[in-house]
Structure formats: C-alpha cells, structure tokens
Chains A and B, each alone.
Chain A
C-alpha cells in the first residue's frame, strides 16, 4: 500500500524531471545540436507483472509448449533453432545457417557455439538431436506426448560434429525449417528431457537456454522469471542479442477479465491478457498500449461438411459464402484492429493470396443461387425444398470468446436470405467430444488454428496420411487431392506458391471453407511506460527486448 504511494509520487517526480528534460532538449535543439532520442532507448532494470487468465495444465514441455497460456512462459525460458517473425519470415537464431537437398528430404543445421542451458549443459548437436526425437515421438507410455504439428515424415537426426546436425525425412518436407520456429519447438536441456514425466511437470526442474529462468512458481497462481545475466544469443531479427533489460517478469493468474484490465488501469500491473474487444477503444483513448497481433494460421471460419445435406450442394455452399457480410462482423463485434479475411489463411502467412473477390458480400447472388438450387421462400420467410426447411446448425467455438457473438450476427444476416440458423454452445469438454470435422451432425466446424508453414495446409484438409478430412470429401474430389500431392511433393517455394494459390481459389470457390474474419486470438493491454516488446509469428509477446521508459 505504502509502496504504491511512493511509486506514484516517484513517477510524478519523474514526470516533472522528464518535462524539464524535454524543455532543455528543445532549447538544445534550437541551438543547432541534434540530441539522441533518450526517451525510447532501452534501459536496464525493472519488474513487470503480466496478468493472464490461465496458466494451462501440465508443465511437461512437450505437452504444454503449444498452450496459449504456457507458451508465454516457455517463450522466455527457452530458445528455438530459428526465429519466425510476425510476417512469417524465417531467420537464424541458434541455427546460424542451414542447407537442404533438392527434394527437401535432408537438412543440415549449423549451430551457434557457446550456447548453454541454465543447468550448465551445452546446447550442442547432441542436445538438438535429443530434442528433435522427443518432439517427433514423445514418450507416450509415460504421458509425454509428441508435438502435434511436428512433421510426421521425420525419420531421424544425426549429430555430425558438436555443432552440425543432419536431419532426414521419409518424404519431401519443406515445412521442417519454419516448424523450427514454431512455439512447440522449444529446446530443453537433455538432462531435463531424460527426467520422468512427474519431474518434467515441475517447472523448477526444467532447464532451457532462454533469456530468463524460473525464479518461483505456484500452480494455478503465478510464475516469476528472472533474467539470465550470461545470456548472449538472442535472435538477430529482434535487434538485440545480449541479456534482457527487465529484471523479472511475473505471470500472475487473474481469471476475472475486468479485474485484469482494471489492475492495469489502476497501475497495479503492467500487462493484461485477453481483454474483451469491446473495451479496447476506450483503453486506447486512455493512452494504454493495445496490441492485437495476428498469428500465422487459418482464419476464423467454417469447414463445411460436404456429406451433410443440404451442404452437399455446391450452390448452397456458394450461397453461404456470398451471404455473409464480413465487414459487418468487424464493425459490430470487433474493432478496426481486426482484418477482413482475404483467403482461408491469414494474410500475413507467406503463400497466402488475396481472394477477396470470392468473399464479397453479395446477397442478390446468394438468393439467386438458393433459388436455382430449389430452395423457395415460404410464408414464414424461411426457404424450403420438398417440405424441408433450409437449416444451418452452428456450434459456437468455446476456444474463442467472441465466437458466439459472431454466430448471432451471421444468424441475422443469413436469416434475411431465408436461412434458419440454430446456434448451440457447449463447454470445452463436451465440444471436444461431440463436435468434430465432418461429424454426421456437424454441418460446419469452426476453425481457429495456427500453423507455421502453408505447405502443411493441404495435408490437413484431406484424408491422406492421417489428414483430418475437414470437408468430409474422402477421395471424392480429385482436384483437391491432386493439388495436395503436388504441394507436399514440392521441393522449393517457387514451385509451391502457384499451387497454393490454386488451392486457395478452389477451396473458397467450392464453398468448402467459409471464412469469417482474420483471427486475433491474443489481445494485450499494456501500460504506456512499458515499451519495446516484440510479437512473433504466433502472436506471443516477448519481453526479452522490452524495457520501462521514463
């Protein structure tokens, strides 16, 4: 309490000082000198508190690295082999350079030397091999899962010498390199990996090579990280490689959203995670920093079950595509920070192409398509064919807080066209059990998923190689299967890009995937004095480069 007052008065004093400094600077500037912009240059020290709505489940690195919550902690405690920025650009990190063979089945990674884990173990070729092996296979009988999105085509990795690793795949795997920058691909000390699951679940016992180490943690309560003074191997892409500036970062669980935001507003914390979109405008007006970074992945939208009548009819699917007013979703449910979908993958993914024309709102076209398909408006305004009403059952996605509001708006839009829309909302557990891609009772499945490389997309959509068969097409659509095979066999990005463009056009034109908006799954509200944070390709905030400005 008393701390708070002194802090406040201190900052007031600081404010006066900086006001004086600004005046002085102005005077100097007029005198013809050019002073450095001192206000925004990083300075050492400071502690921040990040309020988060959950700290996830287990801390076994393989099982949790992909969690939307724990990923924040892992991003500071561990490093990755490569860095993927918000535009999907891959750049060196602990791998300084890499080569691949012509058909992308063999990769050679050259490691930075002198990197150590916080338990003193060297991060060398052997350690990288141990990590690749556990990402691919896990130890399922012990409860350590594989990393779900790691390429299934992995064969083996070999340590050629202390700083060179050769990785072999059974089939061409262009996606391997970007996967190394994915949030699941975190490097853990071989000693930690060798531990049984129960020890790995204790955050104190896991050592990474990141700029921070775990100082204290309590399950479901907080994790406090403290900076590692000998850290000197940050990714060049963020413009800083030495030790972090902030002394500590505390991730504190506050499950009530309004309390998280109010705590930042009242100066009791520095960052609030997952604020409600409706609050953002007023927070910006109050000069808080609001960040809505997009991740690399699919847009938020529906995968349509092509076995479920009437969505087995391409005209009905196309009517659905044209009958949704996507701009209205952004204007009503979200803020201008959200972007219109231009494809079924986010526009910042390398390889995404602009298909806006296919996604234009055209109610007249939708009506015409439905008329042609034999769905006629009845007296109650609902279209019917052969005595059956035109119904769309939507299952709101429990992983996305705003999903239901979007569903309700779409229900109104489609209702004007004569669609009867039923909205069902389940909790996470029931949803996971009942609602699946292509499930018999599931006409549309709502997608929110990140990926790091567009090449994996084609494989997910179809049923080949354990694919997920999103549209329940099985092997019926030869064109999509053909594109899938060509994309997964492509040995270079130049060869792959036009194929990806074809795939996007085709999937949207057939109405297989109905985009809603580009997704922002992570919303940050931040104190105006905290500056310099960086958002990576999966929209995680890294405070490695952050500092507290005067």
Chain B
C-alpha cells in the first residue's frame, strides 16, 4: 500500500465520521420539529383516559419538557460514548432492539442482493446471446419493467401464488427458507434493474473492443466469451452501482419486510416512525449512515485494486483530464 493510498483512506474515514454525526443531529432536529412524542401519543389514546394535567406531569417526569438543545446535548453525549439510550416507546435499550432485528434484515438484504446479481447477469447474458427473433429486444426492456413494478406488488403476487395457492411457505413463519427466498426475490427484482442496465451498456461497449473480435475469431464459445472475457471488464462500474443500491436494499427491505411479515430493521423503523421514537430512529439513521458510508468506502478502496489503470491522485487539486474514464470519489483512472 502506498502512502498516498493510506492518506486517501484516512481522509475518507474522517469524512465518514462527520457524515454519521450529522445524520444523527439531522434526525434529531427533524423529529423534534414534528408535533407530539411517543409518550403523549400513548397517553392521549382515549382508551387510557388520562387528563391533560396528568399528561403534563408525566411528560415533565420524563424530561420531555426541557429545551430541545438540552435534550440534543444529552442524546449526543450518550451517542459519542456508545450509549444509544432507551426506546421511549418500548422502554427497552435501543441496542437490544437493534440487535434483535438486525440479523433478519442482513439475511434478507444479502439474499436480495444475490438474487439481484444473478438476475442482472442472466438478463445481460440474454441480451447478448439470445437471437433477435427470440426476443432479445424484449430482454432489453426487462430492466425498465423491473424498475417500474413496485416491490410490494411483486411481494403480494408471490405470497398469493406460492404461499397460499401452492403452499410452499406459511405466511406466519416468514423466516423459513422458502419465505426468505421469495422475499429476497421481491426485493431483488427492482434492485437488479440498475445493475442489469449498467452491465448491458458495458457489455455492449466491451463487445466492440478488438480483443473480443480476436477471441471470437479464434472460435471461442459464447458462454466462455461472456464469462472469461467480457464479464470482468464490464463489471467494474457494477461495483459502484452495487454500492449505491445498498441504500435501495435497506429502504426496499422496509416494504418487503412489512409485506412478508418479517421482523427486521424495516419494521422497527416503521414502528418507531409512527410513534416518533426518537432514540431508536437516531440510532437506525446513524446505523444506515454507517453502512452506506462503509460500503461506498469499500467500493472506492476496492476500485484501484480491481483495475490497474485506476491510480490514486492524492490531493484534491488535480483534476481529471478526461470525462469518460471510470471515476469514483477521488480515485481517478489514468490512461496507460
């Protein structure tokens, strides 16, 4: 590892910390501006029959009547020391709540990504090697189709078809293998479209390169050409797209989890938003920021290692010389 590479990595890490802290403060401000809080919304449920005086007394006992800045300072100092606080809704530690739901979401997001990659690969392969008369044009339309069908629609169709009609899985046991697989399919289909789109475009570009023509002239098979010659160079930009789709996977998992009845981060977010459970929301938004920043950091750091043409240019003063080279962050490609 070169010195420049390490400086670059350290700088990116510093930026990441700032982004996470800002995300934390931003969530606090946004949720504080909204009227209401989890404690009063429970107390105001007419079934409970509390009077306004009693509600005010309970609010004061919880410190929710203190100025917003005092509350922010309290939360922030806890966050920096690693204390995520207590959920106002459930009265349990935020870290416990997140630990309970995180594995389910990681499994779903991982499986969803795998489905998306596989699907994108198949569609991209098809667009190159399925003859025009057998619907190559149709295949090229798939990414747009995938993107335009909301994943809850896909989810509901899958549940009714495979869950209720064919009985492959039980809706009330969403963590079973089949239920997880179909949830991953529902989540993966829209995500695959972006990956497929980028892959198709790059395959088209690579296929026109001379090395591809040479390989073809040597009589190499279509599958072998795709796998051992075209796929690797065409998939470099895909790394960037995958890093960007992490956000979509996390966001999409919220809806997919609700539809399939899985208890993951998404369902925790949903419950916390509807009750304005500030400590939980702050922790989750910060966690989201951590994941997003980390994944993009990994992608950036991976890029120069994958493509020998990409060099770290160190300081920010130097500008890229051409615009069509692969570039992410401050890692720039330099033509050999």
Contact = CB atoms under 8 A, between A and B. Distances in A.
Given A219-B97, A399-B45, A468-B51, A58 B91 contact: yes
A34 B175 CA distance: 50
A432 B268 contact: no
Given A60-B91, A254-B261, A145 B169 contact: no
A447 interface: yes
The prevalent SS among residues of A at the interface is loop
Contacts of A63: 42, 91
B327 interface: no
B42 A148 contact: no
Contact of B89 (A57, A66, A263): A57
Nearest to B48: A148
Given A57-B89, A255-B261, A449-B49, A1 B171 contact: no
Interface centre among B51, B89, B267 (most CB of A within 10 A): B51
B92 A202 contact: yes
Interface stretch (A17-25, A193-201, A417-425): A193-201
A468 B93 CA distance: 35
Contacts of A393: none
B259 A256 contact: yes
Interface size class of B (residues with CB under 8 A): 35 or more
Interface string B89-121: 111110001001100000000000000000000
Given A148-B50, A449-B46, A253 B36 contact: no
Interface string B34-50: 11101111111111111
A220 interface: yes
Given A5-B167, A201-B91, A429-B36, 16 more contacts: A4-B167, A57-B89, A58-B91, A141-B61, A146-B54, A148-B49, A201-B90, A219-B263, A266-B164, A268-B170, A427-B274, A428-B41, A429-B34, A429-B35, A430-B35, A432-B36
Contacts of A460: 49
B238 interface: no
A286 interface: no
Interface size class of A (residues with CB under 8 A): 35 or more
Contact of B47 (A255, A263, A450): A450
Contacts of A479: none
B168 interface: yes
Contacts of A200: 91
A449 B58 contact: no
B228 interface: no
Contacts of B36: 429-430, 432-433
B261 A198 contact: no
Interface in A356-399: 399
A218 B261 CA distance: 13
Contacts of A198: 86, 91-93
B159 A259 contact: yes
B47 A57 contact: no
A386 B286 CA distance: 58
Contacts of A218: 100, 263
A507 to B, nearest CB: 18
Contacts of B43: 145, 148
Contacts of A58: 42, 89-92
6 contacts: A51-B172, A198-B93, A201-B90, A254-B172, A399-B46, A428-B41
B69 to A, nearest CB: 22
B62 interface: yes
Nearest to A252: B172
B91 A140 contact: no
A1 B169 contact: yes
Contacts of A5: 167
A27 interface: no
A34 B38 CA distance: 61
A6 interface: no
Q: Which residue, A4, A51, A219, has most C-beta atoms of chain B within 10 A? A: A219
B280 to A, nearest CB: 11
